Amino acid sequence: MLGNMMSGQLLISGLIEHAEKYHSDAEIVSRTVEGPIHRYTYSEAAKRSRQLANALEKLGLQEGDTVGTLAWNTYRHFELYFGVSGIGCVVNTVNPRLFPEQLTYIINHAENQYLFIDLSFIELVESLESELEGVKGYVILTDKEHMPDTKLNNAMCYEDLISCESDEFTWPEFDENTASSLCYTSGTTGNPKGVLYSHRSTILHAWIVSSGNVAKVSSSTCILPVVPMFHVNAWGIPYAGAMFGAKLVFPGPALDGASVYELIDNEKPDLLMGVPTVWLGLLQHLNETNQTLDCVETALVGGSAAPRAMIQEFEEKHDVFLMHGWGMTEMSPLGTATSRTKEMEDLDIERRYDLQQKQGKAFFGVNMTIADDYGNELPHDGVAFGRLLVKGPTIVERYYKAEESAMDENGWFDTGDVAKIHPEGYMEIVDRSKDVIKSGGEWISSIDLENAAVGHPGVAEACVIGVLHAKWDERPLLLIVKAAGQEPSKEDINTFLEDKVAKWWLPDDIVFVEELPHTATGKLLKTGLRKDFKNHLINK
Ligand code: AMP
């Protein structure tokens, strides 16, 4: 028997309509790419999103069409989140930090019809333009005054595009399972894979993230999401902000410690969100200038593991609770967090840091277990570790345009992470099943680097591992076994790699070794190497 309740659709346009109606004066503050701070309200954001919707329809966009963005966290990008998805189109937020070949692949694979780009990325897009297949035009996210000369075909100015449009627009109603946004994973091998979110999954995720056990978003919250809107929808915060009328503070392109602190000092956020590298930069700035974070209550950190020293420094110097979160593009992205609990308050501080170092408990809606390589579930005893499997309504079912499902026969998605689950529910990442290197929150493929290095005639075998780095958390270290009778130098190999991988992927050092350890099946065994070389760059 079915229930007798209404079946209103969960649509992203409903969020901005709600914000306009009930939180019209709540602020959205942005550091712009042009420089000055911009400040407006949800009411103005809603009006401009409707102007944008009218403009998009005039460009000929129809339900299901895709529109790409290469943009920082600013109010204009925020409007695109609502304007594009609101008319039933899909916003494909492209991560400009990717290698040009990956960018071209993504823009073509997504079939973006228009690209909305910040001033910072014009040159980058100009260099890709000849390879872009279906892009009909480029909208530069700026005003007339700052509109540059560009070689891009059919370049338009965002403010011109929307200013002549009416702010009257009736958002269409459609099925909540309609696609709303598209993010690509920067995977280790092969091409990036697209995760196509729906209106329903996006709204459920925004609700989950806003809840009391996670970000506690409300109309009294002020949030500074440093986590980019071009990477997994800034952890859903633009949607959550609109859902509850929270004040949002967007940092634009200035993510260094001094600029982030300036915004904190002026706008008084109580919640910060970002990857560990960003917090490292902020803490360093605070140390150098002898300042403290007086207004901030919580900093949510994720994307890679938060070091204990960071948890401790936030707590002891700034009285800020560092909430550790874990998730992935395929999960919208958040799946777990270590909330501040009553039980924690009574714990010895070191024991509390032990808990904060773990990736946290799964949210309602995220079902989670661990299994061995044969799919047998392992006990949640804090000892056994295995492949971390997840399922739920905010988790990918299949990658964009893939024919086969991303789930196993029991409906689980394999995260590619290896984890323990403790009896009280805390999940702890042990390692990745793939040995990807996380540099400043971005991925570097060890396999791609190894493959490039072994192309050098002087190299018999290559192995790349991530080792500790003071600024970027991890950087690649290349270990090489020389080919018989060859004497390549470090410089030779670096020059050889230069045109084969993105510049920021180049290894920070190269070490020549006699031999490399292997598993029984002939794969490189990296665990021991990681331990041996852990501090190689720090001690250098
Ligand atoms: P992405 O899809 O780029 O967000 O990357 C997701 C991956 O980042 C996960 O599968 C993990 O390997 C890693 N990751 C995310 N958060 C954490 C965390 N708190 N601790 C350790 N690894 C993390």
Residue 301 Cα to ligand 1 middle (Å): 11
Q: Is 98 helix (H, G, I), strand (E, B) or coil?
A: coil
Identify the residue with better confidence: 368 or 309.
Answer: 368
* Strands of the sheet with 385-391, listed across from one edge: 367-371, 385-391, 413-421, 427-432
* Ligand 1 site, residue 428, Cβ cutoff 6 A: no
Q: Which amino acid is at 475?
A: R
pLDDT of 110 higher than 50: yes
Highest mean pLDDT among 110-114, 184-188, 455-459, 494-498: 110-114
Tokens 């996006």 found at: 202
Q: Which of 74, 178, 185, 394 is catalytic?
A: 185
**CA gap 415, 429 in Å, rounded:** 11
**Residue 328 beta carbon below 6 angstroms from any ligand 1 atom:** yes
d(CA 185, CA 153): 28
326 Cβ closer than 6 Å to some ligand 1 atom: yes
Residue 129 pLDDT greater than 60, yes or no:
yes
| Of 99 and 71, the one with more pLDDT | 71
For residue 489, the model assigns a pLDDT of: 95
| Confidence at 520, pLDDT banded by 50, 70, 90 | very low
Q: What's the mean pLDDT in 486-506?
A: 92
474 lines ligand 1 (CB under 6 A): no
Ligand 1 atom closest to 186 (CA): 3
Q: Is the CB of 225 under 6 A from ligand 1?
A: no
Query: Over 70: is that where the pLDDT of 188 sits?
Result: no
What percentage of the chain exceeds 70 in pLDDT? Answer: 97
pLDDT band at residue 434 using 50, 70 and 90 as cut-offs? low
Does the pLDDT value for residue 521 go beyond 60?
no
pTM: 0.84
Q: Among the options 330, 442, 450, 474, which is catalytic? A: 330
Tell whether ligand 1 has an atom less than 6 A from the beta carbon of residue 304: yes
Q: Are 52 and 78 in contact (CB under 8 A)?
A: no
443 is catalytic: yes
- What's the pLDDT score for residue 519? 56
416 C-alpha to center of ligand 1: Å? 10
Find how far residue 300's CA is from the centre of its chain: 13
* Cβ of residue 276 lying under 6 Å from some atom of ligand 1: no
Helix axis angle for 199-210 and 237-244, nearest 10°, is: 70
**Residue of 488, 500, 441, 437 whose CA lies nearest to 463:** 437
333 lines ligand 1 (CB under 6 A): yes
Task: Give 540's pLDDT tier (boundaries 50, 70, 90).
Answer: confident
How many angstroms is it from 286 CA to the middle of ligand 1? 26
Return d(Cα 407, Cα 414) in angstroms, integer: 7
Residue 523 clears pLDDT 60, i.e. is over it: no
State the angle between helix axes of 12-22 and 42-58 in degrees (0 to 180), rounded to the nearest 10. 140
- Determine the Cα–Cα distance for residues 244 and 266; give it in Å rounded to an integer: 22
List the 155-157 sheet strands across, edge first. Answer: 155-157, 137-140, 112-117, 66-70, 90-93, 179-185, 193-198
Of these ranges, 6-10, 107-111, 434-438, 497-501, the one predicted with the greatest mean pLDDT is 107-111
Closest C-alpha residue for ligand 1 atom 20: 305
434 lines ligand 1 (CB under 6 A): no
Instruction: Band the pLDDT of 146: cuts 50, 70, 90.
Output: very high
The amino acid at residue 451 is: N
Report pLDDT for 538: 87
Q: 185 an active-site residue?
A: yes
Domains of the chain as residue ranges with CATH: 12-254 (3.40.50.12780), 362-432 (2.30.38.10), 436-539 (3.30.300.30)
> What is the pLDDT averaged over residues 455-479?
91
CB of 336 shorter than 6 A to ligand 1? no
pLDDT score recorded for residue 324 = 95
CA–CA gap between residue 32 and residue 47 (Å, rounded): 19
In angstroms, rounded to a whole number, what is the distance separating the alpha carbons of residues 312 and 316?
A: 6
DSSP states along 186-240: --SSSS-EEEEEEHHHHHHHHHHHHSTTTT---TT-EEEE-S-TTSGGGGGHHHH
**Catalytic residue selected from 329, 438, 450, 505:** 438
User: Beta 155-157 vs 385-391: how paired, if at all?
Assistant: unpaired
Per-residue pLDDT for 412 more than 50? Answer: yes
- Ligand 1 atom with the smallest distance to the CA of 305 is 20
Q: 391: CA distance to ligand 1 center in Å?
A: 16
3-state class (DSSP) for residue 59: coil
The DSSP-derived string for 339-389 is ---HHHHTS-HHHHHHHHHS-BEEPTT-EEEEE-TTS-B---SSS-EEEEE
434 versus 539: the higher-pLDDT residue is 539
Q: Distance (Å, rounded) from C-alpha 235 to C-alpha 380?
A: 27
| 302 CA → ligand 1 middle, Å | 7
The residues facing 260 across adjacent strands are none
Q: Which residues contact 412 (CB under 8 A, 6 or more apart)?
A: 369, 371, 389, 390, 391
Query: Residue 348's Cα: distance from chain center in Å?
Result: 33
Residue with tokens 């999954």: 201
Band (187; pLDDT cuts 50, 70, 90): low
353 CA → ligand 1 middle, Å: 20
Residues 6+ apart with CB under 8 A from 529: 463, 465, 479, 516, 517
330 as an active site residue: the answer is: yes
pLDDT tens-digit series, residues 117-128:
999 999 999 999
Residue located nearest, by CA, to atom 4 of ligand 1: 328
Tell which atom from ligand 1 comes closest to the C-alpha of 301: 19
Q: Check pocket membership of 302 for ligand 1, CB cut-off 6 A.
A: yes
Range with the poorest average pLDDT among 47-56, 138-147, 405-414, 465-474? 465-474
Looking at the CA of residue 416, tell me the nearest atom of ligand 1: 10
Token representation of residue 506: 């180049």
What average pLDDT does range 306-310 have in this prediction?
80
Average pLDDT across the chain, whole number: 93
Q: Which of 207, 279, 443, 472 is catalytic?
A: 443
357 CB within 6 A, ligand 1:
no
Nearest protein CA to atom 1 of ligand 1, as residue:
328
Q: Dig out the tokens for 132 from the structure.
A: 């872009």
More confident residue, 206 or 447: 206
Q: Give the C-alpha separation, 86 to 53, whole Å.
A: 8
Q: Which two tokens stand for residue 473?
A: 């958390």
Pocket test for ligand 1, best of 326, 356, 388, 444 (most atoms within 8 A of CB): 326
